Amino acid sequence: MPPFDPHRRSNEPSRWIERFAPLLPAGGRVLDLACGGGRHGRLFLKSGARVTCLDRDVSSVADLAGKAEIIAADLEIGLPWPLAGRAFDAVVVANYLFRPLMARLIDAVAPGGIFLYETFAKGNERYDRPRNPDHLLLPGELLAAVGGRLQVLAYEAGIEQRPTGPRVVQRICAMRTDEPVRLS
């Protein structure tokens, strides 16, 4: 069982990430950014993906050494982007926001790849942490970030009711493609 993730209050993968995980091609490359305990990297490893877990503290994913690429990097202190020139079939981010990275993350999505992002949004400060506006998405911010760059497959924004109390979130699944995606 993965280590407890205090931001999620669960070790289980996000239902949003699970919902769109099947879009990843077999053996695809996944970046689990701000991976914490690795709940999403672990999900993708089970399906045979090649996973890169990146966080400033990677001690909670040490057990994945040899199964996943583990990169310890503090992305908020101005060091060079540790993944320069690399692209991934899925870029996954949950419960993390550092706006200066958004363009780099979108650029890291390979052709045909997916961008799965969910985190707290403005209004969450009424219910729980985070309360700092630097860590809360503005209305429509994820849509604006991918606009003109990726095709939005799904988007949600609003109050989510949970057993531990409500939270305000935004979620997006977007794909790098030149062709319209056919929905079934």
77 has pLDDT over 90:
yes
* Sheet arrangement for strand 109-120: 69-72, 50-55, 29-33, 88-94, 109-120, 167-175, 151-160
16 has pLDDT over 60:
yes
Percent of the chain at pLDDT > 90 equals 70
94 has pLDDT over 90:
yes
State the DSSP string of 83-141. TTT--EEEEEEES---GGGHHHHHHTEEEEEEEEEEEEBTTGGGTSS---GGGSBPTTH
Best CATH choice for the domain 21-76+84-175 from the list 3.40.50.1110, 2.60.120.640, 3.40.30.10, 3.40.50.150: 3.40.50.150
pLDDT value at position 162? 85
Q: Over the stretch 152-172, which tens digit does the pLDDT of each residue have? A: 999 999 998 888 888 889 999
What does residue 108 show for φ and ψ, rounded to 5 degrees? Answer: -80, -5
Q: Over the stretch 21-45, which tens digit does the pLDDT of each residue have? A: 999 988 999 999 999 999 999 999 9
Confidence of residue 10 (pLDDT cuts 50, 70, 90): low
Q: Over the stretch 101-157, which tens digit does the pLDDT of each residue have? A: 999 999 999 999 999 999 988 877 788 887 877 888 889 999 999 999 999 999 999
State the DSSP string of 8-55. TTSSSPPHHHHHHGGGSPTT-EEEEET-TTTHHHHHHHHTT-EEEEEE
Boundaries of every domain in the chain: 21-76+84-175
